[in-house]
Amino acid sequence: MIAGHTRITTQALTSTARAVAAETLGISAGDVRASFDDEAGLLALHLALPLSIPPLAAVVADPSLVEAFGGSLTRRAQDAQAVIRMRVQQLTGARLSRVDMRVTGMSVARERRVK
């Protein structure tokens, strides 16, 4: 066996983070922006993305749709942060100090999504 080393590029880390965030939140990976910063030897992941919401008229008719979508926007973002952090670490082997998420917009879901 020949000794050597393996490096995972920033582009590969970024692509993985975008895919994980998109899958976790049920949005398109193309809508997710991701970047990393060094934070005392760990990586801080920064995400900017939209969140999907149920049709507002449907929420008026059935307020339980908010819970079916995973709760309030704040709760959904907070819950997703932990999942994204764990999955990115599992897939890449990188150690993340935190996941910062900035919600950049909303998209109305066409179909009812149940978590």
Average pLDDT, the chain: 90
DSSP string of 48-82? EEEEEE--HHHHHH-TTHHHHTTSSHHHHHHHHHH
Q: Report the pLDDT value the prediction gives residue 108, as an integer from 0 to 100.
A: 85
Q: Which one has a higher pLDDT value, 109 or 32?
A: 32
112: which strand partners? none
* Closest to 43 (Cα-Cα) out of 101, 97, 86: 97
Give 15-44 pLDDT, tens digit per residue. Answer: 999 999 999 998 999 999 999 999 999 999
**8 has pLDDT over 90:** no
* Per-residue pLDDT tens over the stretch 50-101: 998 889 899 999 999 899 888 999 999 999 999 999 999 999 999 999 999 9
